[in-house]
Amino acid sequence: MLDPVAAVGPVLCVVGARPNYMKMAPLLRAFAAEPAMPSALLVHTGQHYDFALNGRLFADLQLPSPDVNLEVGSGSHAVQTAEVMKRFEPLLDAHSPSCVVVVGDVNSTLACSLVAAKREVPVAHVEAGLRSFDRTMPEEINRVLTDQIAELLYTTERGALANLEREGVDPARVHFVGNLMIDSLHAALPRAVAPAATLSAEGHPADLIGKGFGLVTLHRPSNVDAPDALAALLEALAAIAARLPLLWPMHPRTRASIERFALVEALRAPGLVCLPPQGYLEMVGLMNAATVVLTDSGGVQEETTALGVPCLTLRENTERPITVEQGTNTLIGRDFPALRAAVESILAGGGKRGRLPELWDGRTAGRIARHMAQWLRAPRAARVIG
């Protein structure tokens, strides 16, 4: 039985950093279209603030301007997480939300979950249960802890349930709904910007990529925070760029490291084209047309699987194993001879074809909205809290 007075407060939807926006945009639209959902307020923590990482993506994804911006900015993990917590708590007093919705695994995800859980406001975590089993990644800590304190756990792949059960999470809290990233991808594909237009807009000749190109995205601390590791990576990219032009929209963290370690010269390798961080419509256009994608991003592993484009992941592990088992992803780690061999094999006509994982169908947001509306209106005692 539904209790119409159980869920009077709004739902606070939290975003902090670039990968959150692709997940929240379709969800907010689905919440607005679901009559039984309370109103939703968009809270931006301000973890990402540059126009290229932030403002441009909001426009591309048709995300409304945030109702609240906490403007925390950059800092150490402790400082950033603590600032989000301090600034988020008063929102719970001001709005008496019925639920806090968090996505992904960034510092803002954990910070807001922790504040809400301690104030007994239910937390819904979208993209729950993913595990790299690598506790040196800050995101892994954020995932494990957020999943422990969230009441609703929405998963993107069936394997996530086993990860959560192993950590003692009641399976009744877990709901397999599919992948919101793919909802955004579907929405963006018809509006995607052609790579030639992106190159021209950045002042590069469009014919550079006439015979295909590779796309590079790298920002993980394990690849970009140490001078030797970064120098070796740049050398490997230069060798590949001599065979296949590489377009590299560069995260500010990576650019800062290259400058700090005096490695700027390595960027002049023939065929290596550095670009500023791109908008979402440009990125979708680049990924869709790429011969191969070289990345350490989580979201890009999923997007390439959905697009059927070969992806070489420069990490030792992935929290998204379905992209390897069913999709187009191959884990390369930091084995650069293997990286060059994999690129050669793709150029020779190979590369994984893969298939679309279950429920990566572009309709995940509607499934979450329908489930959450029911859940929020059920009497609190009838909800499962494991």
Phi first, then psi: give them for residue 269, nearest 5 degrees.
-55, 135
Contact flags string 121-140 toward ligand UD1, x per CB under 6 A: -----------------xx-
Give the binding range for ligand UD1 (CB under 6 A) out of 105-113, 167-175, 192-200, 322-330: 105-113
Q: Return the axis-axis angle of helices 18-33 and 364-377, rounded to nearest 10°.
A: 60
Please tell me whether residue 370 binds ligand UD1 under the rule CB under 6 A.
no
- Give every CB contact of residue 190 below 8 A, 6+ residues apart in sequence: none
| Residue-wise DSSP of 142-207 | HHHHHHHH-SEEEESSTHHHHHHHHTT--GGGEEE---HHHHHHHHHGGGPPPHHHHHHHTT--GG
Question: Minimal distance in Å, beta carbon 76 to ligand UD1?
Answer: 9
Query: Is 219 an active-site residue?
Result: yes
Quick one: 131 or 251, whose CB is closer to ligand UD1?
251
How is residue 38 written in tokens? 């309370």
Quick one: 100 or 359, whose CB is closer to ligand UD1?
100
H-only helix segments in the chain: 18-33, 55-60, 77-95, 107-118, 138-149, 159-166, 180-188, 195-201, 221-224, 227-241, 252-260, 280-289, 298-307, 322-325, 336-347, 364-377
Residues 3-62 that bind ligand UD1 (CB under 6 A): 17-19, 47-50, 53-54
Contact flags string 222-261 toward ligand UD1, x per CB under 6 A: -----------------------------xxx--x-----
Size of the site for ligand UD1 (CB under 6 A): 20
Give the binding range for ligand UD1 (CB under 6 A) out of 27-35, 104-112, 122-130, 146-154: 104-112
Judged on CB neighbours under 10 Å (0-12, 13-18, 19+), 65 is: exposed
Q: Give Cα 25 to chain centroid, integer Å.
A: 12
Q: What is d(CA 111, CA 80) in angstroms, rounded to the nearest whole number?
A: 9
Give the binding range for ligand UD1 (CB under 6 A) out of 100-108, 118-126, 154-162, 236-244: 100-108
Quick one: 48 or 95, whose CB is closer to ligand UD1?
48
Instruction: Choose the catalytic residue: 48, 125, 175, 219.
Output: 219
Among 44, 175, 219, 377, binds ligand UD1 (CB under 6 A): 219
Q: Are 232 and 327 in contact (CB under 8 A)?
A: no
Residue in this structure with the two tokens 């902090």, named with its chain if needed: 16
Phi first, then psi: give them for residue 153, nearest 5 degrees.
-120, 110
Question: Minimal distance in Å, beta carbon 319 to ligand UD1?
Answer: 11
Among 3, 32, 64, 74, binds ligand UD1 (CB under 6 A): 74
Please tell me whether residue 107 binds ligand UD1 under the rule CB under 6 A.
yes
Q: Supply the residues annotated as catalytic.
A: 219
Q: Give the interface with ligand UD1 as residue ranges (CB under 6 A).
A: 17-19, 47-50, 53-54, 74, 105-107, 138-139, 219, 251-253, 256
